[in-house]
Structure 1
């Protein structure tokens, strides 16, 4: 069962690296990879495309990742099966706790390990290794 992954990060190099990291899922399993450059655009894509997994930065213009999480959590049409992975430079425990309380399933810090990102995406989409 192919799924959809949305990458939301304001840094183009991070988005490109994540897309390259996840491209095997696209090529081998038919997973659709989408991306957005800020929280507002990301939330719009979430509402329209209904991705299965979102890799979400916290520090972004327009809407930060915490606010995106909050709006998803407050919208019962979005919060059901959507799995959010916060991927951020904010590595303090208080940041991690806040993200998880707002509905994120996972919290990863930058710089990230591409193998860990790929493994996380596979697990969340139910794709065997």
Structure 2
């Protein structure tokens, strides 16, 4: 990730409702949530939600997939890892690879098991 990409990601998170949206999706893990359920939980109009999701997606922090007639939004853990890696690049006196264990511990792509109960059933 370069500085411009990091600034885009940080700008996407710098608005209160987008930050809340991002945190909701991270809580739900890789399974994500349908757009309608996100709008209901956040109590925002669909057009507002669409704009917010678009900004997070363009910043590389979320991704969407189609399941039947639903569009499911989930965190993009690769993008989140890239942002955190960029922010921590100079930690530990410079050897960023020493920070990888920390990133791996907190950004496990298999977090469905511990994330799902907080998100709840999306059926």
Q: TM-score, normalised by structure 2?
A: 0.27
Greater strand proportion: 1
Bigger RCO (CA 8 Å, 6+ sep): 2
Q: TM-score, normalised by structure 1?
A: 0.26
Greater helix proportion: 2
